[in-house]
């Protein structure tokens, strides 16, 4: 059994086909242990560290950082028994440098058997000086005459390189050189001298001609550096320009340019590529409907403040998103059809909720999910959300954490946005957009008062969720956020 093992890029889940090598964690010659992380790879879902399948010594790394490699391609070789001594090289595998180099005399003695008759000298495939065979670079010998495209305006090249035996052929006259086109920038005056182009109106030019002033020697003080009558008159009288206040001309705006030098091309790969594929498939497969609801969440925000003050919650991250997640989970229990998947000939209703939380990362948007979130207490839910977001921000989310989602929340409010019309993740039937919480005038107990208000946007698959079900589901979420304590008493 060979000591050298080649490690192939594995399928990291969900049928991934390729991955980009972000960083090698080992180098050639390093001694590694079993399950030691050796490379960091970005798949279409996340950046993951891949452990070694064998212990041993790194012998070769086949792909540098930044390379996109297909699943199943060898990426590294490992010597699994480095203590057994140096490896023996097989005879057939010896490097080409160890083989004897043939001498020039032996090469010259090699004769090439003619194919279908001898080939005349000067034909491709025929003999050339030094005993070689005349061939085109990159092609095999041919038995046809070499032909050249005739030059325009010249004498066509001869088909044969050898002179005809009947009479010497006079050399073709060299084609006349093409006329040189002068640079249009400088003009020429009557004496044939080059004259630089100047900016001056016809009356100014006539004045300069009458006074014998050479306009090319002047520096214009007019708009865009044009020469004025005063400039010509000062030059004619020999008077320098008056030292007065400088006239600052406004800088000219360059003409609009739309060339490739002002464009940036970003390869579509990894998370961005997967997101584009999923969003396109979802947008053109599931018929989307989006409804909106504006809610007074003043009581909910006060409840969060009281929760933060409790001793057992002081080390827990408490945010408005936590209450939104709890509201969604309770509303799903009241309307289980929302947590389902369209499967062609049937609808799969799920008794568990893998709650997805959309997270913006440096590599793009990802949606990890909390598995079976409905079974968690409020404190457990808060801890799970904190871990999920921190792992996503660090780029350490595993493909398992991003698969199997059943319902998603996207918190667009963190960007100061009121709401949106989110696109469903593939396989899910509903997604909720949670907007920014703002202080706004609101009618409360018959009077206009400043209240904390937010807007919710619910997109759902109209094949599964009709308008009534979607409206009731959104209304229940709003009722919980308007008065969470009363909703908990009423629904649990």
Q: Which residues are marked as active site?
A: 462
Q: Record the tokens describing residue 312, joined without a space.
A: 């057992």
Q: How many residues does the chain have?
A: 492
CA distance 93 to 415: 61
CA distance 231 to 250: 20
Cβ atoms of 299 and 482 closer than 8 Å: yes
Return all residues near 21 (Cβ < 8 A) that are at least 6 apart.
Answer: 39, 40, 41, 63, 64, 65, 66, 67, 68, 69, 75
Q: Could you tell me which residues are beta bridge partners of residue 18?
A: 70
Q: What sections of 37-131 are H helices per DSSP?
A: 104-108
> Residue 249: which of 214, 202, 206, 199 has the closest Cα?
199
Cβ atoms of 204 and 227 closer than 8 Å: yes
CA distance 177 to 173: 12
Q: Which long-range contacts (CB under 8 A, 24 or more apart) does 72-76 make?
A: 72/8, 72/9, 72/11, 73/8, 73/9, 74/6, 74/7, 74/8, 75/7, 75/8, 75/9, 75/21, 75/39, 76/6, 76/7, 76/26, 76/38, 76/39
Cβ atoms within 10 A of the Cβ of 142, count? 15
CA torsion sign for 234, 235, 238, 239 is positive
Q: Give the end-to-end CA distance of the chain in Å, rounded to a whole number.
A: 64
């Amino acid at each position: 059994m060979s000591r050298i093992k080649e490690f192939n890029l594995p399928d990291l889940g969900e049928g991934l086909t390729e991955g980009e090598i972000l960083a090698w964690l080992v180098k050639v010659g390093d001694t590694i242990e079993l399950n030691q992380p050796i490379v960091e790879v970005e798949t279409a879902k996340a950046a993951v560290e891949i452990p070694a399948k064998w212990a041993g010594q790194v012998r070769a790394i086949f792909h540098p950082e930044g390379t996109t490699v297909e699943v199943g391609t060898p990426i590294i070789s490992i010597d699994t028994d480095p203590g057994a001594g140096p490896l023996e090289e097989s005879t057939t595998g010896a490097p080409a440098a160890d083989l004897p180099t043939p001498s020039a005399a032996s090469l010259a003695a090699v004769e090439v058997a003619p194919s279908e008759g001898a080939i005349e000298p000067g034909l491709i495939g025929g003999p050339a000086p030094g005993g070689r065979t005349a061939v085109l670079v990159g092609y095999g010998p041919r038995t046809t005459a070499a032909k050249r495209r005739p030059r325009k305006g010249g004498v066509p090249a001869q088909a044969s390189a050898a002179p005809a035996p009947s009479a010497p052929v006079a050399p073709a006259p060299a084609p006349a050189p093409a006329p040189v086109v002068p640079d249009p920038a400088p003009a020429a005056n009557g004496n044939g001298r080059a004259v630089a182009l100047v900016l001056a109106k016809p009356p100014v030019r006539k004045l300069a001609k009458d006074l014998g002033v050479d306009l090319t020697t002047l520096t214009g003080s007019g708009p865009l550096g044009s020469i004025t009558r005063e400039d010509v008159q000062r030059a004619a009288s020999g008077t320098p320009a008056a030292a007065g206040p400088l006239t600052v001309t406004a800088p000219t705006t360059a003409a609009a340019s739309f060339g490739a030098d002002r464009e940036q091309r970003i390869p579509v790969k990894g998370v961005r590529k997967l997101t584009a594929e999923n969003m396109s498939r979802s947008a053109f497969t599931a018929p989307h409907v989006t409804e909106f609801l504006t809610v007074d969440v003043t009581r909910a925000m006060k409840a969060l403040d009281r929760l933060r003050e409790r001793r057992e919650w002081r080390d827990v991250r408490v945010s408005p998103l936590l209450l939104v997640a709890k509201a969604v989970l309770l509303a799903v229990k009241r309307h289980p059809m929302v947590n389902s998947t369209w499967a062609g000939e049937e609808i799969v209703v799920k008794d568990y909720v893998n709650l997805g939380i959309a997270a913006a990362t440096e590599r793009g948007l990802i949606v990890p999910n909390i598995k079976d979130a409905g079974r968690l207490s409020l404190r457990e839910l808060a801890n799970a959300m904190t871990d999920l977001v921190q792992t996503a921000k660090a780029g350490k989310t595993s493909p398992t954490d991003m698969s199997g989602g059943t319902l998603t929340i996207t918190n667009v409010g963190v960007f100061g946005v009121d709401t949106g019309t989110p696109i469903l993740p593939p396989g899910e039937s509903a997604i909720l957009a949670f907007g920014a919480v703002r202080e706004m005038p609101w009618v409360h107990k018959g009077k206009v008062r400043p209240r904390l208000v937010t807007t919710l946007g619910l997109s759902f698959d109209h094949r599964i969720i009709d308008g009534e079900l979607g409206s009731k589901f959104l209304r229940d979420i709003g009722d919980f956020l308007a008065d969470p304590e009363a909703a908990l008493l009423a629904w649990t």
